[in-house]
Amino acid sequence: EQLLRFTLQFLPELIWCYLAVSASRNVHSSGCIEALLLGVYNLEIVDKQGHSKVLSFTIPSLSKPSVYHEPSSIGSMALTESALSQHGLSKVVYSGPHPQREMLTAQNRFEVLTFLLLCYNAALTYMPSVSLQSLCQICSRICVCGYPRQHVRKYKGISSRIPVSSGFMVQMLTGIYFAFYNGEWDLAQKTLDDIIYRAQLELYPEPLLVANAIKASLPHGAMKSNKEGARCIQVEITPTSSRISRNAVTSMSIRGHRWKRHGNAELTGQE
């Protein structure tokens, strides 16, 4: 486990070296890096018994409270037949099983690299600040190389465009979002702009959706977080409101409406 984390902290730089060599079409120079990346990939897709892993993630329901929101802040939810039929149901997303790979090709390259970034993001809390800085710088380079913004960033060396996939960019954003609140605000801000720039050029909807959501949720001022402190993602909890919406239809409002109508009928009869 410790050896794996030690290797993963160099993953952003390894991915950059491999993609840079692949873009220059000098495939024979990337043999050692390719072997290491494939070794980590083939180890991570199986469990200790050698069986293929199937990763699962349960998508949280907006009708139930979580660390990200309170249902009361969304507004009153109508208790309809459709809502009752969906009560207790949760959507689970599965990833895997992933096939073993003996070599990296143009067809499977980003399938492997996306999974490796997923493994890196799963161990973000163990990554040192240097690794987070490397992640931001490498993601920025990958997104702007070969485009006019490369001259603005003053990146030298490779000038060829590096192809990226939509899923790979989403995994980039996961790591960048973590870096925002863990001491790398300025670097993460620049990288987020570069990812949005590349996603707009590629017309990728998923990275654009995630990147703009991150950008909209950021506070106006830079976060002053301790680089040596606890690793976390900061969220703001919406305070629970005890007030009931005026438009909410409850048993009390129905009963009051019935009494009011009954009282009006009695007054009319007396007249």
Confidence band, pLDDT 50/70/90 cuts, at residue 180: very high
Residue 49 has a pLDDT of: 82
What is residue 239's DSSP assignment?
P
Two tokens, residue 172: 């980039």
Mean pLDDT across 169-180: 94
Q: Half-sphere exposure (CA, 13 Å, Cβ side) for 99?
A: 7
Tell me the pLDDT tens digit for each residue of 112-159. 999 999 999 999 999 999 999 999 999 999 999 888 888 888 787 777
Q: What are phi and psi of 145, to 5 degrees?
A: -60, 130
Confidence band, pLDDT 50/70/90 cuts, at residue 54: confident
Confidence band, pLDDT 50/70/90 cuts, at residue 197: very high
- What number of other Cβ atoms are within 10 A of residue 180's Cβ? 26
Two tokens, residue 235: 């969220």
Cα 137 from Cα 131, distance rounded (Å): 10
* Cβ contacts of 70 within 8 Å, gap of 6 or more: 237, 238, 239, 240, 241
Nearest to 136, CA basis, from 168, 183, 175: 175
